[in-house]
């Protein structure tokens, strides 16, 4: 159920009324929590792809890195294309955004399952076949991930007002970090139970449960939400993209987020191998690891939201990144689990900021564009960032492969004769370097638009234009 809010808009000589709808608290919850299923899938992939294909299936590191990089390029094209198409689909019974979700959700679930069953199609000694299978299944999954999540996320600036977005985004990030914890559980199950060539029953059940959650999670939004933004009848991708790329703040944001994503992608790819292989966490340690992540993330959601209100989005984002920049070099010095838990808490606090902001910031850019032009391009502002973002992340995957190909000279803490790749030590400072660069870029980016002033300015311009048009010749 929605509550109307009436605003005066100079849409004609008679000053017609524009009705804007705000989401109820329950609608914010189920719209935000719809990300749980897709995020569980993506997080389990981020945490487990290297573990599954490199460690368990023994696919060489360079092939593992390249297969991940290819999938990043596919998702870049997918998110941009389907975001743009969802802007262009003429609203009918189901609207513009819903058909993509309704068709894509079951396909995404099915494609997720195929990632984990190469043994049904490839011989155990077929390295090239396994590489092709990994690259293909990862890419198909990310194609469908873009088909579902970009149109769905493009819906956010149409359903919400700016003041609502931190609340909606917080629920999305509750879903994201619950998903991260559950993705960690999936990675733990892989580490504990996976066999060299097959899939045990416990993992089959877990994967089927994730598929079920992903599909049913979208149903409340498909049934209960209906509002959409202004439709542009004539597709013109050059014109629409041109509007976005003329915005220096948007370009600056793309650069900053891309640099930041290099570090964050390295964090998510390395988190599980780091605690499982290098720190040698047992099952109890891994459960504590998940609980720590959950507690820190919830706590820092409140911190970052308070800071957004009091100091603005840009400064808050910079502070959250700085926490990670200062924490990640500690991977050079971790010698016991106490220091490790402290390091994990700081990194989790930083990563929580990274996941909180993009939804709000890109919805704000789309909203500013609509205020200025009177046309809805939420799909462009949600989908286009995937191109530079995933190119940066593909670079991060290749860089990860290079780092973890370093010689096995890093002594495992608490042992006297167990050595692993130096990558387990050096990944932290490398990730911190790219995150620090993003802080510098953000100094040149305005992430705090004044919507009230913009609406007044462009309403006045529109009123003047209408009045001039109605003057007798």
Residues 6+ apart with CB under 8 A from 365: 244, 247, 249, 250, 253, 381
Taking the C-alpha atoms of residue 133 and residue 118, their distance in angstroms, rounded to an integer, is 7
Per-residue pLDDT band for 379 (boundaries 50, 70, 90) equals: low
- Residue 44 tokens, joined: 């389990």
**Cβ neighbourhood burial of 38 (10 Å; 0-12, 13-18, 19+):** buried
108 within some domain: yes
pLDDT of residue 228: 61
What pTM did the predictor assign? 0.72
pLDDT of residue 331: 92
Enumerate residues 6+ apart whose C-beta is below 8 A from 243. Answer: 369, 373, 377, 380
Residue 244 lies in a domain: yes
Residue 193: give the domain boundaries: 21-455
The pLDDT tens digits of the residues spanning 249-303 come to 888 999 999 999 999 988 888 887 788 788 888 778 877 877 787 788 778 878 9
Q: Which residue has the tokens 């297969």?
A: 67
Task: Report whether pLDDT(333) > 80.
Answer: yes
Confidence of residue 236 (pLDDT cuts 50, 70, 90): low
Asked if the structure places residue 221 within a domain, the reply is yes
Domain-located, residue 43: yes
pLDDT attached to residue 208:
94
- In a domain, residue 463? The reply is no
- pLDDT of 115: 95
Q: Using one digit for the tens of pLDDT, what is the confidence trace for 90-113?
A: 666 777 788 888 999 999 999 999
Residue 126: inside a domain: yes
- Computed from CA positions of residues 44, 47, 50, 56, in that sequence, does the dihedral angle turn out positive or negative? negative
**CATH no. for residue 96?**
1.20.1250.20
CA–CA distance, 471 with 473 (Å, rounded to integer): 6
Q: What are phi and psi of 270, to 5 degrees?
A: -100, -15
> Which residues, listed in sequence order, are joined to residue 19 by a DSSP beta bridge?
6
State the DSSP string of 10-24: -SSTT-PEEEEEE--
41 in any annotated domain = yes
Cα 428 off chain centre by: 21
| H or E element at residue 411 | strand 410-411
Domains in the chain, number: 1
Beta bridge partners, 21, equal 4
């Amino acid at each position: 159920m929605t509550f109307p809010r009436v605003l005066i808009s100079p849409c004609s000589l008679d000053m017609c009324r524009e009705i804007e709808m705000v989401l109820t608290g329950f609608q914010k919850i189920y719209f935000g929590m719809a990300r749980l299923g897709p995020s569980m899938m993506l997080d389990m992939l981020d945490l487990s792809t290297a573990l599954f294909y490199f460690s368990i299936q023994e696919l060489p590191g360079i092939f593992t890195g390249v297969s991940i990089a290819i999938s990043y390029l596919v998702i870049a094209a997918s998110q941009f294309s389907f975001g743009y198409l969802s802007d262009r689909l003429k609203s009918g019974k189901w609207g513009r955004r819903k058909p993509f979700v309704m068709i894509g959700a079951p396909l995404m679930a099915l494609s997720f399952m195929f990632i984990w069953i190469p043994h049904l199609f490839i011989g155990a000694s077929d390295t090239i076949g396994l590489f092709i299978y990994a690259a293909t299944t990862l890419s198909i999954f990310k194609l469908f991930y873009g088909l579902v999540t970009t149109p769905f996320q493009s819906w956010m600036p149409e359903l919400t007002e700016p003041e609502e977005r931190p609340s909606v985004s917080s629920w999305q990030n509750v879903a994201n970090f619950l998903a991260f914890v559950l993705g960690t559980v999936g990675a733990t199950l892989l580490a504990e139970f996976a066999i060299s060539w097959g899939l045990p029953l416990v993992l089959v059940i877990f994967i089927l449960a994730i598929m079920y959650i992903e599909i049913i999670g979208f149903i409340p939004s498909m049934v209960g939400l209906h509002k959409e933004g202004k439709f542009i009848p004539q597709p013109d991708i050059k014109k629409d993209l041109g509007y976005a790329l003329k915005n220096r703040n948007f370009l600056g944001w793309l650069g900053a987020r891309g640099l930041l994503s290099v570090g964050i992608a390295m964090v998510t790819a390395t988190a599980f191998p780091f605690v499982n292989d290098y720190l040698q966490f047992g099952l109890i340690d891994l459960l504590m690891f998940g609980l720590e992540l959950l507690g820190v993330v919830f706590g820092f959601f409140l911190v970052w939201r308070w800071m957004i209100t009091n100091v603005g989005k840009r400064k808050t984002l910079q502070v959250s990144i700085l926490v990670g920049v200062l924490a990640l070099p500690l991977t050079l010095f971790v010698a016991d689990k106490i220091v490790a838990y402290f390091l994990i808490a700081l990194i989790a606090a930083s990563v929580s900021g990274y996941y909180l902001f993009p939804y709000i910031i890109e919805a704000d850019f789309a909203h500013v564009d609509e205020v200025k032009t009177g046309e809805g391009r939420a799909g462009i502002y949600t989908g286009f960032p995937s191109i530079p973002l995933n190119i940066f992340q593909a670079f991060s995957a290749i860089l990860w492969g290079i780092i973890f190909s370093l010689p096995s000279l890093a002594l495992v803490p608490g042992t006297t004769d167990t050595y692993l790749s130096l990558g387990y030590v050096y990944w932290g400072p490398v990730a911190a370097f790219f995150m620090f660069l993003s802080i510098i870029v953000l100094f040149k980016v305005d992430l705090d638009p004044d919507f009230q002033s913009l609406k007044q300015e462009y309403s006045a311009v529109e009123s003047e234009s209408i009045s001039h048009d109605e003057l007798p010749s």
